[in-house]
Amino acid sequence: MTTVRTESLTLAPPSAWRCYLKLCKLKVVSLVVFTALVAMVLASPPGNLPWVTVLAATIGIALAGASAAAFNHIADRDIDQVMGRTQNRPLPSGNISRTSATVFATTLGALAMLILWTMVNPFTAVLTLLTLIGYAVVYTRYLKWIGPQNIVLGGASGAAPAMLGWSAITGTIGWEAFALFLIIFVWTPPHFWALAVARREEYAKAGVPMLPVTHGVPYTKHSIFAYALFLIPVSYLPVTVGLSGPFYLIGATILGGMFAVRAYKLMYVDSDQLAMRLFGFSITYLTLLFALLLVDHYLPVHGWAW
Ligand code: HEM
Ligand SMILES: CC(C)=CCC/C(C)=C/CC/C(C)=C/COP(=O)(O)OP(=O)(O)O
């Protein structure tokens, strides 16, 4: 016999730890940390990974990213209340107070600095702090409001963790680190604008001058395609600076082609669903591209000596 349980329709508030986890933007920060981790592996000779430094830097960068995300939630609580996508977040829904969120974000940031300064190197700790401020303050409080190039400039803080990974191992920043930075920097506009096309009405309602709001959907879709095309040669930079070889080159060409074809199709189809699919593909693209760099690094015959 089946038992039918009737449940109250009133939703219980989410548990505190779930709210704190939500503040950390776990999925975004995971990909950010993955790019940093790949940079660390590429900066180390194959088979000779400095495990303690890699572990400490991964934890430190993850904590800093989560702290920056939590500060972003605090600064954006008013506009988050206006947009459907964000109105159930812990601050606009009242599940976490501003003070608790501030204490949480500050604690994570301080822990990150302590770990990076003492167990990695002071240079990486300072760069991470600048990245945190770049996202939580410069992008969130200022760039977001200046006009449609906001996220092109804001993309620098999302791209910086690849450099942080490199400097964690080498103590410096070289062309190799800059090549990885540029890939994420050029990837960010098509990544975000695809979502902004689908969510343009919410951004307009919140008064945020994102590209589809200020310049319309057709212009944004052309810009997405232009950036997706430009991303193909930029994704070859790791080969140019000697970080990877033909295996990566072939993979990057296939992935870049898939991204560009999808962006091209979006220009001729009026569908928010398709825009969201491109947004989803942008995440798959970056994940696979960095996974290719990793695999290429460990190939028995590395580089061009095939
Ligand atoms: C200024 C730069 C960036 C902007 C404006 C931006 C914007 C966004 C937005 C608005 C979302 C939707 C979030 C949500 O609904 O909760 C998102 C999701 C995401 N972003 Fe970005 N992003 C940027 C940079 C990055 C970077 C650098 C990465 C990784 C390297 C990244 C990875 C992701 C991932 C993995 C998601 C999916 C989250 C999910 O499925 O819940 N983003 N991004
Ligand atoms: C190491 C370190 C400090 C890294 C920081 C990098 C980082 C967390 C980048 C996140 C980029 C991002 C999700 C931007 C969207 O913000 P948004 O406010 O436009 O999006 P939202 O409306 O979803 O909040």
Interval between CA 283 and ligand 1 midpoint (Å): 8
Residues 151 and 294 in one domain: no
Same-domain check for residues 188 and 127: no
Do 74 and 214 lie in one domain? The reply is no
Looking from the CA of 196 toward its CB, the CA atoms found within 13 Å total 30
Q: Are residues 291 and 236 in the same domain?
A: yes
Mean pLDDT of the chain: 94
61: tokens are 């960068």
Say whether pLDDT at 4 is over 70. no
In a domain, 274, yes or no: yes
Residue 186 has pLDDT above 80, yes or no: yes
Total of domains in the chain: 2
At which of 173, 188, 217 does a domain end?
A: 173
Is residue 10 very low, low, confident or very high in pLDDT (cuts 50, 70, 90)?
A: low
Compute, in degrees rounded to 10, the torsion defined by CA atoms 98, 159, 254, 45.
Answer: -120
Q: Is residue 217 a part of any domain in this protein?
A: yes
Question: Which atom of ligand 1 is nearest the CA belonging to 154?
Answer: 1
pLDDT band at residue 304 under the 50/70/90 scheme: low
Residues with Cβ within 8 Å of 71's Cβ and at least 6 positions away in sequence, in order, are 105, 109, 132, 136, 137, 140
Give the angle subtended at the CA of 36 by the CAs of 142 and 122, to the nearest 5°. Answer: 80
Q: Who's near 212: CB < 8 A, 6+ residues apart? A: 193, 196, 197, 200, 203, 220
Instruction: Give yes or no for a contact between 216 and 197, defined as CB atoms under 8 angstroms apart.
Output: no
Residue 8, domain member (yes or no): no
> Same domain, yes or no, for 216 and 136?
no
pLDDT at position 9, please?
59
In which residue are the tokens 């760069």 written?
Answer: 127
Can you tell me the mean pLDDT for 186-212?
Answer: 97
Rounded distance between C-alpha atoms, residue 36 and residue 61, angstroms:
8
* Same domain assignment for residues 152 and 243: no
Same domain, residue pair 185 and 234: yes
Q: What is the mean pLDDT of residues 165-185?
A: 97
Mutate to test the pocket of ligand 2, among 72, 133, 184 (most ligand atoms within 8 A of CB): 72
pLDDT in tens, 225-284: 999 999 999 999 999 999 999 999 999 999 999 999 999 999 999 999 999 999 999 999
In a domain, 3, yes or no: no
**13 or 56, greater pLDDT:** 56
Q: How far is the CA of 121 from the centre of ligand 2 (A)?
A: 24
Q: How many angstroms does the Cα of residue 74 sit away from the middle of ligand 2? A: 12
pLDDT at 11: 67
- Looking at the structure, tell me whether residues 246 and 161 fall in a common domain: no
Give the model's confidence band at 47: pLDDT under 50 very low, under 70 low, under 90 confident, else very high.
confident
For 64-99, write each residue's pLDDT tens digit.
999 999 999 999 999 999 999 999 999 999 999 999
Identify which of 25, 188, 191, 286 to mutate to test ligand 2's pocket (most ligand atoms within 8 A of the CB): 25
169 C-alpha vs ligand 1 centroid, how far in Å? 26
Question: Is residue 28 over pLDDT 70?
Answer: yes
**CATH number for the domain including 26?**
1.10.357.140
Q: Which domain holds residue 157?
A: 17-173
1 belongs to a structural domain:
no
Instruction: Tell me the C-alpha to C-alpha distance, in Å, between residue 290 and each of 20, 32, 55, 196, 285.
Output: 29, 11, 18, 24, 9
Looking at the fold, whether 135 and 227 belong to one and the same domain comes out as no
Q: What's residue 2's pLDDT? A: 41
For the cut 50, the answer to whether the pLDDT of residue 202 exceeds it is: yes
Mutation test of ligand 2: which of 22, 26, 28 has the most ligand atoms closer than 8 Å to its C-beta?
28
